[in-house]
Chain A
Amino acid sequence: MAQDHNLAIFRGKLKFKSNVSKIWGVFILLSIITIVEVFLGITKPAFLTEHHLFALKYLNWIFIGLTIVKAYYITWDFMHMRDEKMGLRRSVVWTAGFLIIYLLFILLVEGDYVFEVYKNGYVKFDF
């Protein structure tokens, strides 16, 4: 188990010499992403908050994207998903991924609908 770590990240573009240096490399990457997130969260650039895509500001899409990138590196390198068999990887990631996306889709669309009824509905509380 000790010697068979996959040491390449960024689809093989960045290859580390040892597992320990890979861990520090991933830590630096996660730190940079967090700093970018906090910077954007504090400054809130106007051109990213003015426009919406699917009822969500561009800025929030960026936050979600960066979060998923962070989640990927935590799972793949800290939880050693990169070294597991494809079957295990897919059973975990595809199952959770599908169910979570489905759940969020249902809940958020319904929440938006409830808001619309409260705000614009002629008959309140009639859903």
Chain B
Amino acid sequence: MDDTVAKPSTDNKTWDGNNKPLNASYGKMMMWFFIVSDALTFSGFLGAYGFSRYKFIDSWPIADEVFTHIPFIHGNFPMYYVAFMTFVLIFSSVTMVLAVDAGHHMKKNKVIVYLFLTIIGGAIFVGSQAWEWGTFIKGNYGAVETKGGKILQFVKADGSRVALGDFAVPIHSERIQQESNNGIWYQSEGAGTSVSLAEVTKGFLADESILIRTQYLDENGHRTVLSRAESVAKLKTDGTGIVEGANLKHNEYGTPLFADFFFFITGFHGFHVFSGIIFNIIVFFNVIIGTYERRGSYEMVEKVGLYWHFVDLVWVFVFTVFYLI
């Protein structure tokens, strides 16, 4: 009977159970599983962005022209603010890893301080993100949308941008806001734009120095500027409406897809940062009340730290794809 029963060999312990080939705890392992799957989700989004960008490679918005603001300061500062955001997030990653290190040495007070700094860094990042969204939604110079859904922007002969409000000539007219309580479909209209297409056209025809810049790029990567005659013809035949700022359907900086991807990817990343802050706050209070001190291990800080570093890692790629390339 014994001969027919397969027994594990006793000299080789590999398959006896209790073997930990990866030498990682269950919690850390599951965090790594999550991180790999989430990394694939993000690369799917960034890959879709790349797909759409290649699809419209000759007319995609240039990030340097889109994100040019710094809070409280006027002027043209491409990228400085988003570089600051990147530093904030990398620095909060540093304080997080310092908290993990302090946890290894069972130094409760140091863990508290470093976790607190991490939470503050994350909050600054999310706040900056919200401000960046607000600036993007509000818009900068405004543009005219064509029948084909393309964007016409206005420039001086030297290439500097002109805002719609600077040259539009006011036309007195009565405009009644459509509200949901009148009309049969109970739909209200949005806030509308600050100037109308007729006012912009009138102002454009009056000012000879203004030209139209299309969203198409020339061989050198600059946007094509039309001659005065072409500009007048283009605006008269193709212009259908005014775009100020960006939302999911219209985008004064170029193709609406750019705005859609910007909102979706940075929004999804911002949501990760937000949930990371929540996790950090929970762990922060657990550290204060001594949960991990009693447990004898600060591994929970390490696991949350893994998530936090991953969020930083994703931002490094989002930064490159959206702002640099």
The finding on whether chains A and B are genuine partners in a shared complex, rather than unrelated, reads yes
B55's partner among A34, A42, A96, A114 (CB-CB below 8 A) is A114
**A42:B79 contact, CB within 8 angstroms:** yes
Residue from A20, A37, A74, A95 in contact with B324 in the complex, judged by beta carbons closer than 8 Å: A37
- Contact A108 B312, CB 8 Å, known A92-B35, A115-B55: no
Chain A, Cβ-Cβ closest to B84: A38
**Those of A50-87 within 8 Å (CB) of chain B:** 55, 60, 63-64, 66-67, 70-71, 74-75, 77-80, 84-85, 87
Within 8 A of A (CB), among B68-116: 78-80, 83, 86-87, 90-91, 93-94, 96-98, 100-101, 104-105
Is B132 interfacial (CB-CB < 8 Å)?
Answer: no
Would A111 and B306 count as touching, CB distance under 8 A? no
A107 touches B325 (CB 8 A): no
Q: Does A104 contact B (CB under 8 A)?
A: yes
Is the contact region of chain B dominated by helix, strand, or loop, or is it mixed?
Answer: helix
Chain A residues near B105: list those with CB within 8 A: 2
| Contacting pair B40 A100 (CB below 8 A) | yes
Q: A19-B101, A64-B320 are in contact. Are A115 and B56 (CB under 8 A)?
A: yes
**Is A30 a contact partner of B317 (Cβ separation < 8 A)?**
no
> Taking CB as reference atom, which chain A residue is nearest B22?
A88
Closest to A105 in B: B47
Please state if A63 and B313 are interface contacts (CB–CB under 8 Å).
no
Query: Does B57 interact with chain A (Cβ within 8 Å)?
Result: yes
Residues of B within 8 A of A31 (CB): 87, 90
Q: Are B36 and A78 in touch, CB under 8 angstroms?
A: no
Let me know if A107 and B51 touch, CB within 8 A.
Answer: yes
Residue in contact with A96 in the complex, picked from B29, B40, B323, CB distance below 8 Å: B40
> Is A103 located at the chain interface by the 8 A CB criterion?
yes
A1 interface residue, CB < 8 Å from B?
Answer: yes
Q: Which interface class (under 10, 10 to 19, 20 to 34, 35 or more) fits A?
A: 35 or more
Is A111 a contact partner of B317 (Cβ separation < 8 A)?
Answer: no
Q: How large is the interface on B (under 10, 10 to 19, 20 to 34, 35 or more residues)?
A: 35 or more
- Asked if B36 and A111 sit within 8 Å, CB to CB, the answer is no
Let me know if B52 and A111 touch, CB within 8 A. yes
Compute how far the CA of A64 lies from the CA of B105 in the bound complex, rounded to whole angstroms.
37
Q: How far is the CB of B214 from chain A (nearest CB, A)?
A: 15
Contacts of B79 in A (CB 8 A): 38, 41-42
Judged by a CB distance under 8 angstroms, whether B10 is at the interface is no
A85 adjacent to B40 (CB under 8 Å)? no
Asked if B134 is an interface residue, CB under 8 A from chain A, the answer is no
Q: CB distance B316 to A67 under 8 Å?
A: yes
Indicate with 1 or 0, residue by residue over B38-65, a CB within 8 angstroms of chain A CB atoms.
0110011001101111111110000010
Shortest Cβ distance from B80 into A: residue: A38
Q: How far is the CA of A43 from the CA of B44 in the complex (A)?
A: 30
Please list 22 pairs of residues, one from A and one from B, whose beta carbons are closer than 8 Å in the complex, sorted by A's number. Answer: A20-B98, A20-B101, A23-B94, A31-B87, A34-B90, A63-B324, A66-B320, A67-B317, A67-B320, A74-B316, A79-B309, A80-B100, A85-B21, A85-B22, A88-B24, A91-B22, A92-B32, A100-B39, A107-B47, A111-B50, A115-B55, A115-B57
Please list the residues of chain A having a beta carbon within 8 angstroms of any beta carbon in chain B.
1-2, 19-20, 23-24, 27, 30-31, 34, 37-38, 40-42, 49, 55, 60, 63-64, 66-67, 70-71, 74-75, 77-80, 84-85, 87-88, 91-92, 95-96, 99-100, 103-104, 107-108, 110-112, 114-115, 118-119
Additional A-B contact list (10), CB under 8 Å, known A23-B94, A78-B309: A27-B91, A37-B324, A38-B80, A74-B309, A74-B312, A87-B21, A88-B24, A100-B39, A107-B51, A108-B47
